[in-house]
Amino acid sequence: MTDADPVVAARTRVVLGVGGGIAAYKAAELLRLLSESGHDVTVVPTRAALRFVGAPTWEALSGKPVTAEVWDDVADVPHVRLGQQADLVVVAPATADLLARAAAGLADDLLANVLLTARCPVVMAPAMHTEMWDHPATRANVATLRERGVLVLDPGVGRLTGKDTGPGRLPEAAQIFEACRAVLARRDGDLAGRTVVVSAGGTREHLDPVRFLGNRSSGKQGYALAASAVARGARVVLVSANVSLPDPAGATVVRARSAEDLRVAVLDASRDADAVVMAAAVADFRPASTVEHKIKKDDSGSVPAPIVLERTADVLAELVARRDREALAQVVVGFAAETGDSEGSVLDHGRAKLARKGCDLLVVNEVGDSRGFEVDENEAVILGSDGSSTVVPRASKTAVADAVWDAVVPLLRP
Ligand code: CTP
């Protein structure tokens, strides 16, 4: 069969990258799972991987020639073609060296070239000794790759090569396969034909033209939600409050400054939306009056009068009220950044807030000095009004975004 064969062309093209670790033999099981479920799999090992498992094994199992080099079959330009044509690249095992090369954007073998040219989703399943996984260099490389949207799985914990145990085991082939399946399902557009509205960032309530009451929200989680929804096929309106991030490609961005701006923009954009996700940190209070000119100090040493605050509207509550009043088939999602206190745990506050707000899902995360705000990773629990709760372990904000949409999709009207 050739590439022009429609049967082959219709199959999902997967590149299985194999790094040079002892777990390379386990990639053979993954190859079988991928091929047996109908995917067209090309194996691209590294040179080191071929020292663990030779090319004949991969060729026999995949039915295709296998090389680690960019110099073979040059007329076919495989170093560019394979990455460009792939629907998914999965790397298992991803060694510390391979993660470093991918993060640095090197192109020193065929697999590194595939990773540079691929525009499809990339899944990497690390395997290495615990010391290597914990090393700041590896942590930084993993963070870089996750920030770029690569799904880097966490390694399993258990027996490693030799007598040591700890984090670093290659996740089971079935787990990697499941991650690939989920990524491909999203790529196939489970939000296609849907309109979603996402709010992001933090509102600012001005006292005068230069001073405001604001909050620490960077907008990263909301932007990740918008990008992920675009990738899954949705028409996305992103209501962005004071965020200094590049606009996500494919989303319509509406800017808002204050809680009132955001309220008007969200309610306006979401009337016909299938889902609204309120990831923005919206001020609960604003100064009762705003001064048009900058407030000046005088020479007498006096201080200005105390700032009098008034309540802002609760946008999430208004969305829920409108949905119920107009019987809209709309999924409404809130976020809650909480800290535990003497009244209850983070989750206690989350459950109470979900009940109070009346939304369908509430994404609860614990915030603190290095948690939640201005960082690239997040961890959350997604609480459902049906009593469900889904734990999203510490992961990139992109992975948390995908978990939120995974929870939204089953709730959308048929
Ligand atoms: N929210 C909103 N309008 C507001 C305040 C909050 O729509 N004026 C939304 C947020 O976007 C978020 C959810 O409500 O999705 C929860 O925000 P949070 O500030 O945690 O809720 P509050 O009701 O303000 O509760 P708290 O008293 O804990 O601040």
Per-domain residue ranges of the chain:
6-185, 195-411
Q: Quote the ligand 1 centre to 223 CA distance (angstroms).
A: 18
Q: State the DSSP H helix or E strand holding residue 18, giving kind and residue range, or none if neither.
A: strand 13-18
CA distances from 132 to 27, 60, 128, 142, 242 (A): 21, 33, 6, 12, 39
Q: Do domains 6-185 and 195-411 have the same CATH topology?
A: yes
The 10s digit of each residue's pLDDT in 299-320 is: 888 888 899 999 999 999 999 9
Q: What span, in angstroms and rounded, lies between the C-alpha atoms of 225 and 210?
A: 30
CA distances from 402 to 187, 306, 313, 381, 408 (A): 11, 44, 29, 13, 10
Domain 6-185 fold: Rossmann fold (3.40.50)
378 flagged as catalytic = no
Cα end-to-end span (Å), the chain? 39
Segments of 266-412 assigned E as strands: 275-278, 285-287, 309-311, 331-338, 361-366, 377-384, 389-396
Q: Quote the ligand 1 centre to 353 CA distance (angstroms).
A: 9
Ligand 1: atom nearest CA of 317 is: 7
Q: What span, in angstroms and rounded, lies between the C-alpha atoms of 365 and 363?
A: 7
Query: 258, 243, 285, 261: which is closest to 203 by C-alpha?
Result: 258
Q: 166 pairs with which residues across the strands?
A: 158
The residue whose CA has the least distance to atom 27 of ligand 1 is: 284
pLDDT at 2: 38
Q: Quote the ligand 1 centre to 24 CA distance (angstroms).
A: 48
The residue whose CA has the least distance to atom 5 of ligand 1 is: 282
Give 187's contacts (C-beta < 8 A, 6+ positions apart): 87, 88, 120, 121, 231, 232
- Cβ–ligand 1 distance for 88 under 6 Å, the answer no
pLDDT at 10: 55
- List the chain pLDDT tens, one digit each, 414 residues: 334 433 344 578 999 999 999 999 999 999 999 998 889 999 999 999 999 999 999 999 999 999 999 998 888 888 899 999 999 999 999 999 999 999 999 999 999 999 999 999 999 999 999 999 999 999 999 999 988 889 899 999 888 777 788 899 999 999 899 889 888 877 778 999 999 999 999 999 999 999 999 998 999 999 999 999 988 889 999 999 999 998 988 899 999 999 999 999 999 999 999 999 999 999 999 999 998 999 888 888 888 889 999 999 999 999 999 999 999 999 999 999 888 888 888 999 999 999 999 999 999 988 875 555 666 677 899 999 999 999 888 777 888 898 999 999 999 998
SS3 content of the chain, % helix, strand, coil (to 5): 40, 25, 35
Ligand 1: atom nearest CA of 349 is: 28
User: Where does 195-411 sit in CATH, by number?
Assistant: 3.40.50.10300
Q: Which one of 263, 277, 315, 364 would you pick to mutate in the ligand 1 pocket, going by the greatest count of ligand atoms within 8 A of its CB? A: 315
- Cβ–ligand 1 distance for 222 under 6 Å, the answer no
Q: Quote the ligand 1 centre to 265 CA distance (angstroms).
A: 17
Q: Determine the distance from the C-alpha atom of residue 193 to the mean position of all C-alpha atoms in its chain, rounded to a whole number.
A: 21
pLDDT at 160: 79
Six-digit token string for 405 = 């949409």
Could you give the strand order of the β-sheet that contains 40-45, starting from the edge strand earlier in sequence? 40-45, 13-18, 88-94, 122-126, 151-152
Contact 69, 31 (CB under 8 A): no
pLDDT at 369: 58
Q: Which amino acid is at 355?
A: A
Six-digit token string for 164 = 């040591």
Q: Which one of 260, 267, 316 would you pick to mutate in the ligand 1 pocket, going by the greatest count of ligand atoms within 8 A of its CB? A: 316
Contact 238, 226 (CB under 8 A): yes
- Cβ–ligand 1 distance for 221 under 6 Å, the answer no
Q: Quote the ligand 1 centre to 356 CA distance (angstroms).
A: 11
**Catalytic residue, candidates 215, 242, 365, 378:** 215
Q: What span, in angstroms and rounded, lies between the C-alpha atoms of 40 and 42?
A: 7
Q: Quote the ligand 1 centre to 305 CA distance (angstroms).
A: 28
